[in-house]
Each structure stands twice: as C-alpha cells, then as structure tokens.
Chains A and B, each alone.
Chain A
Amino acid sequence: MNWKNNSTLRAGVVMILGILFFFGLGAIIPTLFNAYVFTIVMYAGINVTAAVSLNLVTGITGQFSMGHAGFMSVGAYAAAFLTTVILPTAEIPPALVPLVFAGSLFFGGIVAAILGLVVGLPSLRLRGDYLAIVTLGFGEIIRVVILNVETIGGARGLPGIPQWTSFGWVYSVAFLAVLTVRRLLASSHGRAFLAVREDEIAAEAMGVNTTRYKVLAFIIGAFFAGVSGGLFGHFLTYLNPATFDFNRSFEIIIMIVLGGLGSTTGAVAAALFLTFLREALRPLQEITQLDFRMIIYSGLLIVLMLTRPNGFLGTKELTDFGFFRRFKGLRQ
C-alpha cells in the first residue's frame, strides 16, 4: 500500500503525529514560561480553535454568524456540567482523567453541534444581514437561558471545575480543527462550501444543495467552538455567562476578518497575534494609570482595516508561499 496515495491513511498518520508532537511540547512549554505567559499561550490556543471554526462558517462558506460565543458557552457548560455536576471528579483515578476529559470535551462539542443544527436549519435559509441578526439573537438567547438554569450556577457562575486543560490538549484540538478544515476543503464538501460563498444562485443551479452545505459548515463550526469552550472552562476552572456575551463573538469575528476571511492560516495567525497584543499592551496601564489598552487595540484594528481591507492574508494560505508550496499539492 502506497501511503502517499491514500489520503485518509496519510491524514490519520499526520493527526497522530501532530497530537504526539503537541503533547510532547506540552511537557516542555510550562517549564519555559512563567504562569502568566503560559496563561496567554493557553488563551491564544483556545482562540485559534474558535477562530478557525468560525472561519469555516464565515470565511469559507460565507455565512456571517454573530453567535459563535453562544456555541462556545454551550460546549463549555455541557463539558463542565459532566465533570463538575454529574461525575464525582475527585474519585476518578488519575489514569482515567484524560479519557473522561476527552469524553466530556466531545460531549460539549456534540451538544453545541446539535444546537448548531437546530439554529442552522431555519436560519440558514436567510442571507447576509438577516442571518447575522438571527445568530446574534441566538447567542443572546443561550446566554440568558444559562443565566436562568440553577443547576449550572445560573448568574452566580459555575466554580470548582477541575483544571484538566493542558498545553497538549489546547494545541492538539487547534491542530485537529485546522486539519479538519484543510481536509474538508480538499473534498467535494469543501468545493461546495466555496461555491456557496462565491455565488449561491450559481451553486444551486449546478446542483449544490446550498442549505445542506451551509448547515453542515455551521454544525462543524459549532462543534469545534463547543470543544474550545470546554477547554476554556477547564482551564479557568470557573464559568460565568457574562464571559460569553456578544462582545466575545465580535472578538472572534475580528480575528478572522483581520487574518483574512477564508484563510485558515490568517485565522490562526490573527488569533495568536490579537491575544498576545492585548496582553503586550497591559504594561502601558501601569505607566499611565489608565486603561488605554482597548483604545490602542481598537485604533490598530481601524488602521489595519483601512490599509488592508482583505485582512492580512486575503484568502491565501501558508501553502501559497515559497517553501510551503510543496505541501499544497498534497491536499488535492
């Protein structure tokens, strides 16, 4: 069997190698940085997953979703509900923790995906502005529902979540999200996503079931958003509905717009860049005694959008450049 010609097998090998690599790196990283830098590195990785998954919906399939934080919160709460409320976490033998954690992250992702289906089916028949408003409303509905459910803490928030999220987990999930999007794009599904984005009517005329593909992109995006939420909850050890308001959705949108709508590389780079930027500006506050961070951050976004309206990378990927071009062929 020639592994170079069997793309499924090859992807499986890449996936396993990638996960091993990130867990290996996870053993070294915490010793290199102090806890503060490590926290930022973790948030950056979680944001990468969120941005890559939203990019699938908004950048690649062209559906403007403003409720991504809603899916994150569903995943975060579903996973934390399993590990904090249902299971006697303290009694789980340490050897089983990775298994339980993987299971609860997956559960969080699935619950978010199911909600993605429920929301996506009726609303994805809408286009453009209407869809944006529906998804914005949906994100708020989720938040208000969580506020009112007492078993998961309601407005008081859910404390005492075990801290299981490690560097390996965060970056393996981010890696899986990137790999999934890349593999999807190389498949007929990916072609359909792009067709929907470029011209919905033409795509329909060519026999693409546009609603089906929009919903599919929405479900996959929601799944990874849910998993990233689960990682977030198990890192911070405390969840509060206020964390997932529409500002959070906008932050993720900013990431993908800045990186270039449709570019996975751009989404990854912008998620890392923006997460680090916010913290890099923090020392400024000690000097000025006032919080200028958000002003500078917002000003920078305005400048970037004026000078590069298509984002950093437009729709280009890493594989469009120099050395990395040789990997481009592999996905076709």
Chain B
Amino acid sequence: MKFHSSFFTSVLLAAGTLVLAPGCNKSTQTGSTATDPANEIVIGEVGSLTGNEATFGTSTRDGIRLAIEQINQSGGIQNKKLRVVTMDNQGKPEEAATAVTKLITQDRVIAILGEVASSRSLAMAPIAQTNKVPMVTPSSTNPKVTQVGDYIFRVCFIDPFQGSVMAKFAHGTLKVKKAAILRDVKNDYSVGLANFFTETFKKLGGEVVVDQSYSAGDVDFKSQLTSIKTKEPEAIFVPGYYTEVGLIARQARELGIKAPLLGGDGWDSAKLTEIGGKALEGSYFSNHYSPDDTSEHVQKFIAAYKAKFGGVPDGLAAMGYDAAMVLADAMKRAKTLEKDDIREALANTKDFQGVTGRITIDHDRNAVKPAVVLEVKSGGFAYKETINPS
C-alpha cells in the first residue's frame, strides 16, 4: 500500500513539473496577445514592493504611476497610451534579474524603469544591455550601474557627488575641520558615500579623525559612539538608512555628543524623526529634492501626488516620477518608437526640467543635476541650500 501511494505521488510530481514548464511558455502567448501594439506602449518596472526596502519600492512605483497617468491624460505619446507592467523582486538581486528577463522576453517591453537599489540594478543592467532595451534607474547611485553599457541611464546623481556634496557643505557652510564617519558596512550605498566624503573632505583640507562602522539591523551603537566622542569631531557623517540613523542620533545625544550628524538621501523618510525625535534637530542631509521648493512644477507635482495617494511624496517618489518623465520625454523626441531611437533620444536629454532639478544626461549616461541640503528642524525637513555640480 505504501509503495502504491508514494509511486502515485511521484507520478503526480513528475506530471506537475512537466505541466508547469510549458505553462511558462503559454503565458508568452497570452502576454503578447493581451498587448495591442497598435495603440499601446508597454514599459516594464522592477521594484522592491516587498522585502526590507519595501517603502522605497512602493514610493517609486507611486511616482511612476502618477507620471504615466499624467502622460496618458495629456494624450500619450504619438497617440499611443503608456502601460507599465510592474514586477516585484522581494529585494533580491537574482529575483530582479529573473523579473527583468521576463519583462523583456514575455511582456516585450520597450524600456525598463528601475531599480531603486544599486545591487539590484547591477543584476538587471547586463540583461537589459544584452537585449538592447533602454533602462532608466530612478535612484541607483552606484557609479558602476551605468558603466555596464550604453543602454543604461540614471536620473539621479551618483555616490561620488553626494559624498562630496556633504564634504563641501561640512567644510564650506559648517566650517568643520575635524569630521568623524560612522558607516554601515553591510550597505554598498553607505560605504560608497563614506569613501567619497573622505576623499573630498581631505582634498578640501579637512581631517577625518575616526572611521567607525556598524551593520544594518544593529540597535546598539554606544561603543562606536564612545570611540567617536573621544576624538571630539565637529560633525559626524552617518550615510546610512533612516532606521539606524534615528537610533544613532538618540544614543549620540545620550552620550553627550553635541556635533551635528550629516547624511545622504537614505535619511529621507518620515520615519527618521519618528525614531530619532529631538536628537536629530540641527542635523543635515543631502537629497534629490525638497518639498519646500516653491517653484511651480514642484508644487504641482506635490499637489497631484497628494490628491492621488495622500501624503507628501518623498524623494524616491519624486525620482520615480522624474525617471518616467525623462523616458516619456525621450520617447516623444525619438524618431521612431524603436529601442535604439529611444536610447539615442535618452542620451541626448538636455536641461529637462524635472521635479528633482534640471536633468542633463552626460556622456557616461549619468544625470548632471544639483543636490539640495536639508536641515532637520522641529520634526520636519527644512531646505538649507542647493549645491551645484562643479
């Protein structure tokens, strides 16, 4: 009896495997028939809608959705409507690679938007490049992403720029001579920013007196902070994500460290001040845009976003919006809606007025644009100054 039942299961199992494999093929056909090529343009998006950085993924997706909706309302591109197919990657590089392969081969997208994190973009970029599908990443700041090939673009500034912005700000505006660094070694973004901060800060004549590290997920930072305190820095550069930064700020003040904290766009979340509370007052971070910007197009974007999703858009939503808008702008300028022509048009993007500043794509396919420095003030973020690319 036992023999029979296990034999039966194994047959079922084998049959299941066989059914599933062609099942994948089948969706190719349904996928391509569902798309009507006559009046629709399909764009793919890969984002971390679940996983550790889910808020980044959902903010970006909302920004992209808003942009697509606005483009379609104003008549679409060459009389065609845009449609976005969004794929989740659970925050895993290999999932991102599978998702982008699916978008290119099954959904036959003509361009890709994504990913937020550089680690996922680096897994996706070689696939987009091999298939010659233009890919625009909203906020992957690692320089290596666009070095993959001539089909990969970004609409954000890169780590060297953000690191050096804060170094310039610390040296120029805050007149800091001695700085400390507390970096998240688990995070490629944090390590990148810390390295480029050090480089620029030293070049400007400053001194990095101590370089400590932690790992994302840590909750106790007292030993690192104690060692920082003994060196008496005038500012501490903490280019991590908001959760740990909030805790670090609290513990730093408990230990009696008065120096302001400095950071990058990883701080950009309403959660930052929820966690950090008053401890973060008077700290600064660089960001892509400020909701306080009074210019008309920024306020229009914020109003539209609030109406659709409720709540003020964070930097990632603004980046997602700009990425979709830059892509749409390139499609409008492109000779035809072929991938090569779109790539060509993307590469020629010049002085595009985005929510996050004037975007020009340079010959390395990186965006040249200003960064803003924000101050944490009475529980919110206040615009401090704009630092232009040199």
Contact = CB atoms under 8 A, between A and B. Distances in A.
B246 interface: no
B266 to A, nearest CB: 13
Contacts of B13: 269-270, 273, 312
A322 B14 CA distance: 15
A218 to B, nearest CB: 26
Size bin of chain B's contact surface: 35 or more
B92 A159 contact: no
B93 A37 contact: no
Q: Which secondary structure dominates where chain A touches chain B?
A: helix
B187 interface: yes
Interface string B188-207: 10111000000000000000
Interface stretch (A98-106, A107-115, A185-193, A279-287): A279-287
Interface string A288-300: 0101011000000
Most chain-B Cβ atoms within 10 A of its Cβ — which of A43, A155, A270, A316?
Answer: A155
A147 interface: yes
A7 interface: no
A312 B9 contact: yes
A41 B98 CA distance: 11
A157 interface: yes
A147 B187 CA distance: 9
A192 to B, nearest CB: 26
A314 interface: yes
Interface stretch (A116-124, A171-179, A220-228, A232-240): A232-240
Contact of B97 (A34, A236, A270, A283): A236
B286 interface: no
B7 A285 contact: no
A282 B101 CA distance: 13
B119 A240 contact: yes
Given A37-B21, A147-B185, A313-B10, A291 B105 contact: no
Contacts of B385: none
Contacts of B79: none
B6 A36 contact: no
A155 B98 contact: no
B104 interface: yes
Identify which of B49, B91, B131 gathers the most chain A CB atoms within 10 Å of its CB: B49
B106 interface: yes
Contacts of A155: 185-188, 190-191
B87 interface: yes
Contact of A159 (B88, B148, B187): B148
Contacts of A269: 10, 13-14, 17
A276 B24 contact: yes
A159 B146 CA distance: 12
Contacts of A182: none
Nearest to A322: B7
A116 to B, nearest CB: 23
A215 B123 CA distance: 35
B122 interface: yes
B217 to A, nearest CB: 11
B353 interface: no
A279 B123 contact: no
Contacts of A316: 6, 10
Given A39-B97, A240-B119, A269-B14, A313 B9 contact: yes
Interface in B85-108: 85-88, 90-94, 97-98, 101-102, 104-106
Given A291-B50, A308-B9, A157 B188 contact: yes
Contacts of B190: 155
A276 B105 contact: no
B215 interface: yes
A155 B215 CA distance: 11
Nearest to B99: A282
A9 B83 CA distance: 60
A150 to B, nearest CB: 9
Interface string B60-87: 0000000000000000000000000111
A36 B105 contact: yes
B189 to A, nearest CB: 8
B90 A291 contact: yes
Contacts of B188: 154-157
A312 B13 CA distance: 8
Given A236-B94, A314-B6, A282 B14 contact: no
B25 A37 contact: yes
B92 A39 contact: no
Interface string A9-46: 00000000000000000000000011111011101000
B212 interface: no
A41 B18 CA distance: 12
Contacts of A320: 3
A312 B11 CA distance: 10
A147 B190 CA distance: 12
Contacts of A240: 93, 119, 122-123
Given A273-B16, A286-B85, A280 B92 contact: no
Most buried by A among B9, B101, B144: B9
Contacts of A163: 126
Interface string A252-282: 0000000000000100011011001101101
A102 B23 CA distance: 34
5 contacts: A34-B105, A35-B105, A236-B123, A243-B92, A269-B17
Interface of A: 33-37, 39-41, 43, 144, 147-148, 154-157, 159, 163, 232, 236-238, 240, 242-243, 265, 269-270, 272-273, 276-277, 279-280, 282-283, 285-286, 289, 291, 293-294, 308, 312-314, 316, 318, 320-322
